[in-house]
Amino acid sequence: MELKIVRSTYILQIALVCLFAFGFSTVVAQKEPQYTQYMYNIGSFNPAYVGSVATPEIAALYRAQWIDIPGAPRTIRIGANLPMSNGKHGFGLNVVNDQLGPVTQTYFDLSYSFQVNLSAETYLSFGLDVGGSALNVDFSKGTFENPGEPLNNEMISNFYPTIGAGLFLYSDDWYLGASAPNFLTEGIYNDEVATVVDDRLQFNFIGGYVFGLSDNLKFKPAFLINAISGNPINVNVSTNFLISDKFTAGVSYRVNNAFSGLAGFQVAPSTFIGYSYDYNTNLLGDFNNGSHEVIIKFYLGTSGENRSKKVKDKELKNKPKQIDSPRFF
């Protein structure tokens, strides 16, 4: 999403902030919202993940980015991963509200996944999501240099469909995934809206490996790569520890952008709460007090203790197995 309008000093602030954050002359915001706790949020950007979890999950996330900068991004996400009882099919729901200055986008999509056995220990899931995005731009926000301009009082509203797909390859202790959240990026905006955003094709690549250091300690390095056509690649790497199936702690680094601290706690057998704090390592760090992100996940139908162990008897021998620890994947 490329911001091109700089007639408002309000929007100009955001443009300068984005320029510092991404380090190139054209101001670009990602097509999909940015998450630090991506390792707990895979279903939001890869539809193939939704059927690979052991039990149904519901998640809610709030992200406040670049605290103290007016109009900085704010993101709310609600999603669900719903595996079917046969272990092969899954469905998902994803609703995201993303705000940046005068621009608000609300995404929603429904996902479907189907997984197959590649070997006794390796499984491949295929996913598809279909939905749409509602774009709203309120030019009345901010202080304009020329208050009399007709555009200053305009409201732009538009809706466009989205179709995405993904792959998720996994075993007991590792996973790899690739996804594209929307293939319909050409010609979806009219000329009026195109002055505000320029949508581009994005690909996401994710992976991780879980090391069992002891019965009560697991260690997982992971990565997320966002590639947007015509823009620099965004690379996230992280390390997390899972302690006694209840506490998580780790750090994350967004290359040339931010360091993050992560922590989580299994407050009840069916409830997990995670928190992250980002500190910018680029010039943007001089203008804000970091970014905060909170996620809460509800696991339905089984206890946290059972989820963290191997699914008994691989659920049934004729069904694909589920990931050992969905909280850590």
DSSP state of 231: S
Does some domain include residue 147? yes
Q: How far is C-alpha 294 from the geometric centre of its chain's CA atoms?
A: 13
Q: Above pLDDT 70, what percent of the chain?
A: 73
Is a pLDDT exceeding 60 seen at residue 205?
yes
How far apart CA 128 and CA 165 sit, in angstroms, is 4
Q: What is the pLDDT of residues 242-280, one digit of tens each?
A: 999 899 999 999 999 999 999 999 999 899 999 999 999
Does some domain include residue 238? yes
Q: 162 lies in which domain range?
A: 9-314
Q: Output the pLDDT for position 80.
A: 96
Q: Above pLDDT 90, what percent of the chain?
A: 52
Does some domain include residue 319? no
Q: Identify the helix (H) or strand (E) that includes residue 217.
A: strand 217-228
Is a pLDDT exceeding 90 seen at residue 19?
no
Does some domain include residue 321? no
Does some domain include residue 274? yes
Cβ neighbours around 164 below 10 Å, total: 24
Question: Which CATH number goes with the domain that contains 82?
Answer: 2.40.160.40
Tokens coding 291: 């970014």
Q: What is the pLDDT of residues 90-107, one digit of tens each?
A: 999 999 999 988 889 999
Does some domain include residue 267? yes
User: For the chain, what is the domain count?
Assistant: 1
Does some domain include residue 308? yes
Is a pLDDT exceeding 80 seen at residue 24?
no
DSSP state of 11: H
DSSP state of 34: P
Does some domain include residue 184? yes
